[in-house]
Structure 1
Amino acid sequence: MIVHTRRDPRLGEFALRTLDPEGDARLLCRWLTHPKAAFWQMLDADEAGVVAEYRRIAADPHHDAYLGLWRGVPAFLAERYDPARVELAGRYAARPGDVGMHFLCAPTDTPVPGFTRAVLTTVLDWLFADFTVHRVVVEPDLRNAAVHARNAEVGFTVVGPLVLPTKTALLSTCTRERFRAATGHPEGPAR
């Protein structure tokens, strides 16, 4: 089921649909075991492990996963979670209206300039389309310089390092206002 669409002025149509743990497992396994996905910590996963992980997420009332489409073709993964209950529970100063987010662009041999920013803009556009969301919270690995740069481009502000059980993260947040200012959409979420 498609939950959100956005037309990027340069790259065209992006969409998010509910992830199917069984049906999408083979594709996700290729993405998550690719060296580009090292920070997802699933390089050794097999298809059964991917199914188990995304069934677990689907069963969690505070965590959801979505397959991202570009021009109708699977091209990225997005997760939405309640950071006060999942991932960051008790580890940061949670506020009402916070939502956590992860994203992963599919590995490719032919990178498209601006693609990752368009994906991230699409995911934030989707999250901020829910007007109960006031702030998006992310906790990428401290060593993931590429994602920190992309996050800054769309309005994230660094809070600081945060030691988690599996990594040292760089906790960052983005408000609707900072997202609008950074992406040039002062009247509302980008469409």
Structure 2
Amino acid sequence: MDLRLPDELLALIAEEETPAPPSPAGRSDYTTSLLDSRMPYDDLLDGVADWAPVGTPVGLFHLVPVRVERDLPLISRWMNDPAAAAFWELSGPPSVTEDHVRAQLAGDGRSVPCIGVLDGKPMSYWEIYRADLDPLARHYAARPHDTGLHLLVGAVADRGRGLGGILLRAVADLVLARRPFCARVIAEPDIRNTPSVAAFLTAGFRFSAEIDLPTKRAALMVRDRSVRHLL
């Protein structure tokens, strides 16, 4: 008996046997594996998972959404550094950080936790969030699509070198480039966190006001689309 598979099935088998293309130049194994993760619910932030790496004066930088099973030990270690613990208040066992991260991952995409990868090295933790949909919006004159940033430079060796200001500028520019309806990037570091406030100023943010939040007195920092090329 002469049996012949349908052409559609043969084509499908051929696709499955085709080897995967090599990793794009400039992406480490770490970054490539992180890219396996896609966040179908992050339309509120215009697809953070698909934002491409950007060049900076200190190297190629990529924001990649967190995957708890892989990234929790690293983030938890960073949060237990005394300098980070003083402001993030996430020190303790890994479960403390895990609860914080999973609450965002289980939400509707208004906040996306990310690992910042610089030249293939995971070196910072970020949260990109809709400031206009956040409780923060009750404490300032929010505008539609305001986008907020939280940043923790992880390793002690990476602090005090000006990386924070450089990367904040790059990410703010990336937000404005990828979110066309966003007119402002917002941040609210603790007013006592002088290095953080200074980094935002270096990145072209302006100090707008001091605001009282439930857990801190914050410096409201704003980067306006209209003047981003002037600062």
Matches within 5 A, 1:41-56: 41-43=89-91, 45-56=92-103
Matches within 5 A, 1:4-153: 4-9=52-57, 11-37=58-84, 38-43=86-91, 45-61=92-108, 62-109=110-157, 111=159, 113-129=161-177, 130-153=179-202
Any conservation in 2 of the 1:6–1:13 contact (CA below 8 Å)? yes
- TM-score normalised by L of structure 2: 0.72
Counterparts of 1:140 and 1:91 in 2: how far apart (Å)? 14
Counterparts of 1:76 and 1:160 in 2: how far apart (Å)? 27
- Judged with a 3 Å threshold, the aligned counterparts in structure 2 of structure 1 residues 110 and 65 are, in CA distance, closer, same or farther, namely closer
- Judged with a 3 Å threshold, the aligned counterparts in structure 2 of structure 1 residues 112 and 152 are, in CA distance, closer, same or farther, namely closer
Structure with more strand by fraction = 1
Shift of 1:87: 3.7
- Sequence identity of aligned pairs in percent? 30
Structure with more helix by fraction = 2
C-alpha RMSD of the superposition: 1.7
- Judged with a 3 Å threshold, the aligned counterparts in structure 2 of structure 1 residues 169 and 111 are, in CA distance, closer, same or farther, namely closer
For the pair 1:155 / 2:204, whether they are aligned, the reply is: yes
Shift of 1:20: 0.9
Q: Encode CA deviations 1:4-51: one digit per residue, 9 max, x unaligned.
A: 311123x211111111123211000011110121211213x3111211
Number of positions where the alignment pairs a residue of Structure 1 with one of Structure 2: 180
- Judged with a 3 Å threshold, the aligned counterparts in structure 2 of structure 1 residues 113 and 57 are, in CA distance, closer, same or farther, namely same
**Greater C-alpha radius of gyration:** 2
Counterparts of 1:144 and 1:80 in 2: how far apart (Å)? 19
Gaps of 5+ in 2: 1-34, 36-48
